Structure 1
Amino acid sequence: MPVSQIPNNMADHIQAKLVTQDEKYKIADTMFELPGEVTVTELTNLVNKVLKEGVKDAIDDENEYQNMEFDFLVNGEFLRIPLNQYIENKGISTEKVVEIEYILKQESPKPEDQFTQDDWISSVQSTKEFILTGSYDCTVSIWNMDSSKPCIYGFGHTEPVKAVSWVNRVNNDKTAYLISSSQDQSAILWQWEKGEETIKPLFCCRGHSKSVDCVSVHPEMEAFATGSWDSSIKLWSTSPVPQDDSNEPEDFRKARNKKKRQRIEQRGVTRVPKSTLAGHREAVSSLVWLSSSDLCSVSWDHTINVWDINEGKEKLNLRGAKVFLACDYSFHSNLLATGSSDRHIRIWDPRGKDEIFSKGSLIKCNLTSHTGWITCVKWSPSNQYQLVSGSLDYTVKLWDIRSPQTPLFDVNAHQDKVMCLDWSNDDIIFSGGADKNLYKFRYNSVS
C-alpha cells in the first residue's frame, strides 16, 4: 500500500481512496495511508503530485504539467476541516477505507458589466440575448446584453413594478410576450416585435385588491400565476387573443371618451383571472411551478403551500417559524429552495406525503451565512448542487448544497439591499438592488 508523501508527525492514519468522475484528472485505483490531520491543501498537493508523476513521461519541457486546484467530498459533502475532525464529527468508521472524491475547484464569479436604472431594480430575467427588468420607476425595460441603457421601455404601470417574466424567450421567435406585475394591483401582458423600439400592452390583468408582488409562468407557457399582498393567487391566460368568457374587447368598445381609450392603449384591455387559489392568510411573496399541474407558493404567514391547479386546491402545507420571502425549484434535483426573514436558506424535497412534510423531515439542509433577510434565491440552470442567494445585507452568495455551512463565494458588489437575482443562462448571473444597479457576473458552473 503506497504511503502519501504528506509530512506527518501523528501516529494515527486513515486509509483512503481518491476518486473522480473527471477522466482528465483520474489517477490509478490506489489506496493511500493519510495522516489524520490532512487538509484540503495537502490533499490537493498529493493529487497534483500523483498526476504529475503519471504524465511525466508523456510531456516535454514546453508542456509541463500545470498544478490544479481541487475540492474534496466525503459522503457527498465538501471537506472544509482536517479529515480526522470531519470523520469524528460525522461518526464515520476509520476501520474501513474512506472514499474521497475530488473535483476541480471553481473560480469565483467575475464582474463583467454594470447597468444603472433610475430607481430600485426589483426584478430581472434574462435570455441569451436580452435582459428584462422591472423597477420602482414604474417601468418595464429590455436591455441588450452589452448595452449601458435599456433599448426598450414599457410604460403602463402607475406604481412600482415588483416582478417581471418572459412568457416565451425571444432567441428564435420574432414576437415575444412578457409579464409584469405592480403595486398598482395589476399585471400586464406585453407583446414585443423583435427589432421594434416599443413594447405593446395587450391585456391589463385585474382582480387583485393589493400589490401584485410575484409572477411565475407555466412550464408550457399557457398560463401564468400571480401572488399578491391580498393573500390570494390568481391564474391567468397567456393567450394574446381575447378569451371568449371575459368580454375583453368590450372595454375598448365602451371607451367612448378619448382619455379612456388612451388609458386602454397604455395598459391594455382588461383581462379577468381564470381562477383563484385561496388559503394563505398574509401576503404571497414568491411563486414557482414544480410541474405542469403543481404550483408552489410561499407567504408572510410562515407557510409553504403546494397547489394542484387542476383541482384548484392545496396538496401540501408546511408551517415555518418565520416569514418566507423567496422560493425556487430545481428540475435537475427536484429540490425546493426557500429564503426567510430568519436569514436562513432551506432546501426541501417537496415530493413526500403531507404528514411527512409537516414534520420537517424533508428539509435536506440549511444554508447559513447571511446577516439579513433573504430576498431572492435562484438555482443554477445546469448544476443540480448550486444556487445563488441575495439579501438585505447587501450581499449575493453562491452556494453548493454539498457545503451547507459555508458559501462557495461571497459576491460583494451592491451598496444597498439586493432585491432580485437571475440565473437563466449557464454562465451568467444577474443581481439587482436598491442601489439602482444591475450587475452581470460571469461564472463557470461546472458540475
Structure 2
Amino acid sequence: MAEETQVLVKFVTKLPISLRVPETPVAVPSTLRRYGLSQIINHLLALDPPRPFDFLVNGELVRCSLEAHLLGHNLSAESTLQLEYVPAVVPPRHKHSTPHDDWVSSVDGSRGADASGEAAGSILSGSCDGLLRLWDADLHCTSSAQAHDGGVSCVRFLPKSQGDLLLTAGKDRTVKMWKLDDSASSGRCRLLAAYRGHSDGVECVAPSPSGRRFASCGWDGRLMVWETGRAVAEAAEVAAEGGEADAGVECSKKKRKVAAATTNDHAAPAANGNDGGGSCLSISECSTELNGHLHCVSAVCWAAEEALFSSGWDHSVRRWDVEAGVAADTHSGSKTVLALASHAACPQLLAFGCTDCALRIWDSRARAGGGGGGADAVAVTTQGSHGGWVTGVAWCPSSQHHLATSSHDGSLKLWDLRARVSLASLSHHTGKVLCVGWLGGGGGGLVSGGADCQLRLYEGGAGL
C-alpha cells in the first residue's frame, strides 16, 4: 500500500493572540480539506465548543484538498505552504416570512438590526401593489402607505445623518421622499416631496453617502442627480405650513437650481387607512443629468461621493464623475446588467449581475491604470453564476469580501470574493427572487423578496 503524501504547512492568522497557534511548520496529509485543517486548529487551541475555520493561500480560499490546490497552482509539494486561517462564514438561517398582496420588488434592511436597539419599522419593502411597508425585526408591519400607482420599483433609506428619511421610486414616473413619524404609535409615513423629472417608470434610486443627493434612473434612459436630505425636508415643512417653498431650498445655491412648488399629492388610501398623503414639495428640475446610456438605465449605486455607478439594457456599466457630469470609465459587455453593488470601503470595486446569469466583478482601478480595451477585459472577472437572471446584488456592510445575490432561479447565494464558488445557496422562495439586502448592525442577516409575494428574513450566521 502506497504511503500517504505529506505536506509541510505553516498556520498563520490575524486573529487575536488567544486564537493563534505556533507558526512552526507541521506535516499534514495532502488529502486534507478545510474541514480536516479546521480540526487541527481546534485541537491545537483546545477549543470547546469547536469553531469552524476557513483557510487562505495567497489570498484565495482553499476549496479542495491541499494536493489538488498545489497541482492547480503549480506549487511544489516540497516547499512549506503558508495557510492563513480565518473564521468560517456560517450561512444565514431562515427566520420569518410574511405575505404581500403582490410581488415584493425591493427591500432595504440597512436599519434592520441596529446595535443601538432601534428596531420598530426598520425594514423597508416595496411591492407591485404600490404599497410602501415598514417592518420590525419580527416582520410585524408597523406602517404602510400607498406610494406609487402601478407599483413600487425601489425603496431606500437615506443615511442616518439625514434623520428618518427614505426614498421610493415607482412605475408612475416619480421618486418620493418620506419621513417616518416621530411617534412610533402613529404608524405613519409622511410624504414630504415628489421628484417629477422622468418620463417613464423609475427603476432605481441610490442616495449619496452624505445623503444630501440621490441618483435616479429608469426606462426613459435618463440618469439624474437630485438634491435631498434635511435641506429639502425643511423646505417641504415650510411649504406644508403655507410658507414660500423657495425659502427652504437653500441647498441649491451652490451650483444647482431646483424648481420647487407646493402641490397637493394625495395618494389612494392604503389597506390600513394610512395613505401618507397631504401637501408635498414638487421638484421637477434635477441638479445634474448624466447622459450616455442608450436604453433603460436599470440600476445605480453610490458607495462614495466620487464613485457613482450605473448600468443598463445597453449592456454597459459606467462610472461617473458627478461634478463634471461625464462618464469617467465604461465597461461594455454583451448582456443586460440588472443589478449593481459597491462597498464604501472600496468603492472602485463593483459587483454586477446580468441576464446571462453571471455575477461579475469590475475593478475600475485596473482599467484606469492599464487603459485600452484589453485592460478592461482583465479588470472584469466572472465570480460565479446562478441558474437564472441575477436580479439583486448586495455587499455585506461589515465585510469587503462577502456578497449576496438574488436570482430568477428562486435562490439567494452567498459569495466570498476569495473563492470562485458560492459559500451557500438559500432556496426558501417558491418563485423568482427579485431583491435582496443585508440587515444593518453587522450581524450578517438578510432580507429578500420575490414573485412568490413573500418577504423573507434570515438570521445572521457567524463569521460576518
Superposition TM-score tier, normalisation by shorter sequence:
0.7 to 0.9
Q: Which moved more, 1:424-433 or 1:412-421?
A: 424-433
CA deviation string 1:14-40 (max 9, x = no partner):
221122222333211211223333333
CA deviation string 1:73-130 (max 9, x = no partner):
2122121211111111112233431101222333221112212211111111121321
CA contact (8 A) 1:124 1:131 kept: yes
CA contact (8 A) 1:134 1:164 kept: yes
CA deviation string 1:370-428 (max 9, x = no partner):
10010001111111111100000000011111121x21111111011111111141212
Instruction: Indicate which of 159, 179, 183 corresponds to 2:167.
Output: 179
Match of residue 422 from structure 1 = 437
- Matches of 2:126 and 2:9 in 1, distance apart? 52
CA deviation string 1:133-176 (max 9, x = no partner):
1110111111222243x22122241111000111243xx98x62
**Residues 104 and 246 of structure 1: CA distance in aligned 2, closer, same or farther (over 3 Å):** closer
The answer to whether the aligner puts 1:158 opposite 2:149 as a matched pair is yes
- Matches of 1:183 and 1:267 in 2, distance apart? 21
Letter in structure 1 aligned against 2:365: R
Instruction: Indicate which of 372, 388, 397 corresponds to 2:388.
Output: 372
The answer to whether the aligner puts 1:143 opposite 2:135 as a matched pair is yes
- Matches of 2:259 and 2:393 in 1, distance apart? 38
Scaled by the length of structure 1, the TM-score of the pair is: 0.86
Query: What is the CA distance between 1:12 and its match in structure 2?
Result: 4.0
Match of residue 314 from structure 1 = 327
- Which structure exhibits the higher relative contact order, with contacts defined as CA atoms closer than 8 Å and separated by 6 or more residues? 2
CA contact (8 A) 1:227 1:286 kept: yes
Instruction: Indicate which of 83, 87, 97 corresponds to 2:80.
Output: 97
CA contact (8 A) 1:71 1:104 kept: yes
- Matches of 1:338 and 1:218 in 2, distance apart? 19
CA deviation string 1:39-65 (max 9, x = no partner):
33332333333334xxxxxxxxxxx84
- Matches of 2:77 and 2:393 in 1, distance apart? 38
- Matches of 1:381 and 1:394 in 2, distance apart? 24
SS of residue matched to 1:441: strand
- Matches of 1:342 and 1:412 in 2, distance apart? 20
**Residues 179 and 65 of structure 1: CA distance in aligned 2, closer, same or farther (over 3 Å):** closer
**Residues 267 and 414 of structure 1: CA distance in aligned 2, closer, same or farther (over 3 Å):** farther
Match of residue 234 from structure 1 = 224
**Residues 248 and 99 of structure 1: CA distance in aligned 2, closer, same or farther (over 3 Å):** same
Task: State the identity %.
Answer: 28
Equivalence map 1:2-401=2 (5 Å): 9-10=2-3, 12-22=5-15, 23-52=17-46, 65-126=48-109, 127=111, 128=114, 129=119, 130-148=122-140, 150-169=141-160, 176-195=164-183, 196-238=186-228, 239-240=232-233, 241=235, 242-243=245-246, 245-249=257-261, 251=263, 268-272=280-284, 273-334=286-347, 335-354=349-368, 356=371, 358-359=373-374, 360-361=376-377, 363=379, 365-401=381-417
Unmatched tracts of structure 2, length 5 or more: 236-244, 250-256, 266-274
> Based on CA coordinates, which of the two structures has the bigger radius of gyration?
1
Q: Which moved more, 1:110-119 or 1:33-42?
A: 33-42
- Matches of 1:39 and 1:421 in 2, distance apart? 31
CA contact (8 A) 1:383 1:445 kept: no
CA deviation string 1:230-274 (max 9, x = no partner):
11101111112145554523646xx9xxxxxxx995583421222
- Matches of 2:327 and 2:396 in 1, distance apart? 28
The answer to whether the aligner puts 1:434 opposite 2:451 as a matched pair is yes
- Matches of 1:267 and 1:445 in 2, distance apart? 46
Letter in structure 2 aligned against 1:116: P
CA deviation string 1:155-213 (max 9, x = no partner):
241111000111243xx98x622111111111111222222322222222111111100
SS of residue matched to 1:118: coil
CA contact (8 A) 2:318 2:330 kept: yes
- Matches of 2:263 and 2:124 in 1, distance apart? 29
CA contact (8 A) 1:204 1:267 kept: no
- Matches of 1:248 and 1:15 in 2, distance apart? 70
Query: What is the CA distance between 1:353 and its match in structure 2?
Result: 4.5
CA contact (8 A) 2:258 2:287 kept: no
- Matches of 2:88 and 2:431 in 1, distance apart? 30
Match of residue 272 from structure 2 = none
Letter in structure 2 aligned against 1:347: I
Query: What is the CA distance between 1:362 and its match in structure 2?
Result: 5.1
CA deviation string 1:281-315 (max 9, x = no partner):
11111111142133100111110111111111111
- Matches of 2:429 and 2:4 in 1, distance apart? 49
- Matches of 1:83 and 1:98 in 2, distance apart? 9
Q: How many residues align?
A: 415
CA contact (8 A) 1:332 1:383 kept: no
CA contact (8 A) 1:10 1:36 kept: no
Letter in structure 2 aligned against 1:413: H
Letter in structure 2 aligned against 1:122: S
- Matches of 2:276 and 2:8 in 1, distance apart? 73
Q: Which moved more, 1:343-352 or 1:380-389?
A: 343-352
- Matches of 1:43 and 1:352 in 2, distance apart? 34
Letter in structure 1 aligned against 2:136: N
